[in-house]
């Protein structure tokens, strides 16, 4: 993250919360408190009205930036649940982007809605067993490969723990049985295969486009799995 991106992020975070201590800003952006002071000064020099209240922290004068957005209580609650689900059911490569995206939304809430949202956030927690969490953070890389229709190379361990090198053209990501699965055309097997993301030991994105013009739809592949109905 360069300084311009960090200054924008600081502004967004300040607008998303009523008060933010310098220590919290430093931890959020991985910088020193002294650098926070310099960044706050730089924001002021650019005409961004940042103020400070002792024992509380920095705050952005209300009304700056984007006009406030009004959410119904139900919409605000849904936003909090979305954030909790993303924090629990994804990996760090996704969580960081979800956090910054939701901070931008919170930044333009009306003050009463923002306060209500912060109060509700502390009332929601999701816990999953440790085995759910994979050894690495690959979801963002896989999403990019899907969007750009580029192949990936991976080292994959099967159920028996045997590793193999695979070249895969991904057609989608599916979440079932409390795990993320990469579905794609495997060059080694010359067939569509289901790779549990938690068993991927190494992943490399390539710039090579798909060799096949058309692939099976993800919905078709999932339907063939005959997963048991929920509920």
Q: What pLDDT is attached to residue 68?
A: 59
Give the span between the Cα atoms of 148 and 145, in whole angstroms.
5
Going edge to edge, which strands form the sheet with 179-186? 191-196, 179-186, 163-176, 150-157, 200-209
Q: What pLDDT is attached to residue 112?
A: 76
pLDDT at residue 71 is higher than 50: yes
Q: Distance between alpha carbon 224 and the CA centroid of its chain, in Å?
A: 29
Helix axes 92-107, 73-89, angle to 10 degrees: 160
86 CB-near residues (< 8 Å, 6+ apart): 94, 95, 98
Top-confidence residue, 202 or 47 = 202
Q: What pLDDT is attached to residue 47?
A: 82
The predicted model scores a pTM of: 0.59
- List the chain domain ranges: 1-65, 139-225
pLDDT at residue 113 is higher than 90: no
Q: How confident is the model at residue 231 (pLDDT cuts 50, 70, 90)?
A: very low
What percent of the chain has pLDDT above 70?
89
Cβ(188)–Cβ(207) below 8 Å: no
Q: What pLDDT is attached to residue 15?
A: 79
Q: What pLDDT is attached to residue 100?
A: 77
Q: What pLDDT is attached to residue 66?
A: 53
Give the span between the Cα atoms of 89 and 180, in whole angstroms.
9
Highest mean pLDDT among 78-82, 136-140, 189-193: 189-193
CATH of 139-225, one of 3.30.565, 1.20.1420, 2.30.30, 1.20.1280: 2.30.30
Cβ(174)–Cβ(184) below 8 Å: no
What percent of the chain has pLDDT above 90?
36
Give the span between the Cα atoms of 168 and 138, in whole angstroms.
14
Give the span between the Cα atoms of 93 and 137, in whole angstroms.
5
Question: How far is CA 211 from each of CA 141, 149, 152, 183, 207, rounded to the nearest angstrom?
Answer: 19, 10, 12, 16, 12
Q: What pLDDT is attached to residue 12?
A: 82
pLDDT, one tens digit per residue, over 131-185 is 666 556 888 899 999 999 999 999 999 888 899 999 999 999 998 888 889 999 9
Cβ(223)–Cβ(183) below 8 Å: no
Q: What pLDDT is attached to residue 227?
A: 73
Q: How confident is the model at residue 130 (pLDDT cuts 50, 70, 90)?
A: low
- Return mean pLDDT, the chain: 84
Backbone angles phi, psi at 218, to 5 degrees: -60, -40
Nearest to 216 by CA among 174, 179, 153: 174
Tell which CATH architecture fits domain 1-65: Orthogonal Bundle (1.10)
């Amino acid at each position: 993250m360069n300084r311009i991106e960090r200054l924008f992020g600081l502004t967004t975070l300040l607008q998303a919360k009523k008060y933010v201590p310098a220590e919290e800003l430093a931890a959020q952006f991985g910088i020193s408190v002294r650098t926070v002071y310099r960044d706050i000064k730089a924001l002021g020099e650019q005409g961004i009205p940042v103020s400070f209240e002792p024992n509380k922290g920095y705050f952005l004068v209300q009304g700056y930036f984007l006009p406030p957005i009004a959410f119904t209580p139900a919409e605000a609650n849904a936003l909090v649940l979305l954030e909790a689900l993303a924090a629990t059911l994804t990996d760090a490569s996704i969580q960081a982007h979800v956090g910054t995206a939701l901070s931008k939304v919170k930044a333009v809430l009306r003050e009463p809605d923002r306060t209500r949202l912060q109060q509700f956030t502390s009332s929601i927690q999701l816990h999953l067993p440790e085995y759910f969490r994979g050894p690495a953070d690959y979801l963002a890389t896989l999403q990019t490969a899907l969007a750009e229709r580029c192949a990936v190379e991976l080292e994959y361990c099967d159920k028996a723990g045997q590793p193999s090198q695979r070249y895969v053209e991904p057609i989608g990501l599916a979440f079932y049985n409390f795990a993320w699965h990469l579905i794609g055309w495997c060059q080694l097997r010359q067939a569509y295969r289901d790779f549990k993301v938690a068993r991927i030991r190494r992943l490399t994105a390539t710039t090579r486009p798909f060799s096949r013009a058309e692939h099976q739809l993800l919905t078709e592949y999932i339907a063939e799995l005959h997963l048991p109905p929920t509920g």
